[in-house]
Amino acid sequence: MLLSGAEIIMECLLREGVDVIFGYPGGAILPTYDAMTRYPQIHHVLVRHEQGASHMADGYARATGRVGVAIATSGPGATNLVTGIATAMMDSSPVVCITGQVTRGAIGSDAFQETDVTGVTLPVTKHNYLVADITELAYVIREAFHIARTGRPGPVLVDVPKDVQIEKIEFVYPEGPITLPGYQPPASAPDTDIEAALHLINEAERPVILAGHGIIMSGATQQLRELAELGGIPVSLTLLGKGAIPEDHPLVLGMMGMHGEATSNHAIQDADLLIALGMRFDDRVTGNIKTYAVNAKKIHVDIDPSEINKNVQVDVGISGDLRTVLTQLIPGVEKKQHPEWLGRIRDWQEDDDERDILHHETTGRLLGAQVINDLWRCTGGNAITVSDVGQHQMLEAQYYPHQRPSTMITSGGLGTMGFGFPAAIGAKFGQPDEEVWAIVGDGGFQMTMCEMATAAQENINVNIAILNNGFLGMVRQWQELFYEERYQATPMYSPDFVKLAEAFDIPAMRVTSRDQIEESVAFARSINGPTLIEYVIEKEDIVYPMVPSGADLHNMIRRPKPGEKITNG
């Protein structure tokens, strides 16, 4: 059949199983938007800013495991996608971005709205393309999806000149397997590596599993649980690993790292074996590399061989698909319980409980931790929560335990403020039957709050929970602890969020005391469409524990017990 390049794009998207795309039209991508009218099977969501499109595609991908798609025009349309592309790259999220480009003859002439977007995005994409020949377009689209979803997932950008979109050819869909020389993601591990890992696991007396995002992406949650239960091995979670194992499991230590559970950090530092699964030892997890788990042997399993020994030197490095590797490992793991080790961990957990703010008297104050924990209780812990970046993000990680994978979505590696709300919209499109809450701060929300218009236009059932403390909270916390309370550029004026929501015809409510939280959740859940709840919380609260940047992982600033002063360690 005779198709234009624009129609080939849509035809390929349809055959890849795409059901929704997030985008914003413009001159260089207009032929593809015109082609959309002939493909009603694919729903287009009109965003209010292209950054929102890339975040929505990312949220869709994380919630579903499928490839999310964003589309934009050339120049500023394409560059506005970049922050979302970089976010997806850092967190290994499968996204395909399609951008229009000026006509082939105008490339390099500084034409209107021309930008070398492949050059701009080269460092923040897994791969990118400039399609100069219409005969290659369908192959490129297929390759883009294949690269985005296989191996270590990531974003791929396809830049298509306007005249390629207009040109027509006789189209035959390229069937058959995709083969890319040099791109062969590993699967199973060599027997010698498995044997070396098993030797360390079976000899260890104080083992700890470090469970990362790769567990969820590889579908290895069941294998993780089998390994932990068989070997009696406690499990520490990365931020993006939350949900990889039910967090009420007795072997789960909670989150590790800068704002992780003190128990988790102490266990890592005192372990004699770390089994790192699908995580990358970033600085927020390790603290000072020189003092990180110095007495522990280390096993690292990751599908990306470049991660092995990149940040932390390990004794056994295995590059392979995590589910496959764990399936190879589990039959050789000896059944153990480690009672002394688990007893020591229980002592740390009891100390953590005494310091927990939920167990302290807080009369007259509404704290972020209370909001998150009550939200967890009122939703039964079953919602998909999509958090922005800041104090509320860490409180969500601490006070909203997750029982299922892909129900906690956030920007981890890049720490992108403004991610939460648009990503929640994308997640809801991907999982329409799930309850979705965007948990945001007053600062990050203002970066992408224009997407309230998108939510209203689509009548998408996303609940927005704003934790409003009148500050850029996490930056203010650093200023309090390390800059003698010089609050430069962190006090923040905000609009009346309730009135703003009402201007978009979004039902809204303001909460100022804890006894209103249950009512607010019921209010949000009663409405079939977007809602906004503003929680006015304590202005100068601190997220504890905290490992200062570059400090030893065990040298934490702890919340004092009642009557204690703040101490480190």
The length of the chain in residues reads 569
112 is catalytic: yes
Residue identified by tokens 């790192």 is 276
Q: Which amino acid makes up residue 11?
A: E
Residue identified by tokens 């080790």 is 341
β-bridge pairing 207-211 and 252-255: unpaired
CB-facing half-sphere around the CA of 88: CA atoms within 13 A:
40
361 is catalytic: no
50 is catalytic: yes
CA 38 to chain centroid, in Å, comes to 34
504, 452 Cβ separation under 8 angstroms = yes
Q: What is the per-residue burial (b if ≥16 Cβ within 10 Å, else e) of 369-405?
A: bbbbbbbbebbebebbbbbbbbbbbbbbbbbbbbebb
Give me the catalytic one of 90, 114, 162, 546.
162
Give me the catalytic one of 7, 11, 16, 50.
50
Distance (Å, whole) CA 88 – CA 60? 11
- Choose among 401, 396, 408: nearest CA to 474: 396
384, 229 Cβ separation under 8 angstroms = no
- Choose among 258, 285, 345, 292: nearest CA to 542: 258
121, 68 Cβ separation under 8 angstroms = no
- Choose among 514, 259, 249: nearest CA to 377: 514
Distance (Å, whole) CA 521 – CA 519? 6
90 is catalytic: no
- Choose among 205, 195, 211: nearest CA to 296: 205
Radius of gyration of the chain (CA): 24
State the alpha helices, DSSP H only, in 243-385. 262-270, 283-286, 322-329, 339-355, 368-378
Token pair listed for 368: 């972020």
State the alpha helices, DSSP H only, in 358-451. 368-378, 391-399, 420-430, 442-448
314, 299 Cβ separation under 8 angstroms = yes
β-bridge pairing 2-4 and 168-170: antiparallel
The DSSP bridge partners found for residue 384 are 436
For 356, residues 6+ apart whose C-beta sits below 8 A from its C-beta are 559
Asked, as a colleague might, if the bond just before 548 is cis with ω within 30 of 0, I would say no
Residue identified by tokens 């997932």 is 153
417, 84 Cβ separation under 8 angstroms = no
What is the dihedral sign for C-alpha 345, 347, 349, 355? negative
State the alpha helices, DSSP H only, in 204-282. 213-217, 221-231, 262-270
122, 74 Cβ separation under 8 angstroms = no
Token pair listed for 118: 């492949």
162 is catalytic: yes
Residue identified by tokens 């970033």 is 282
Give me the catalytic one of 89, 279, 474, 556.
474
Provide the annotated active-site residues: 50, 112-113, 162, 474
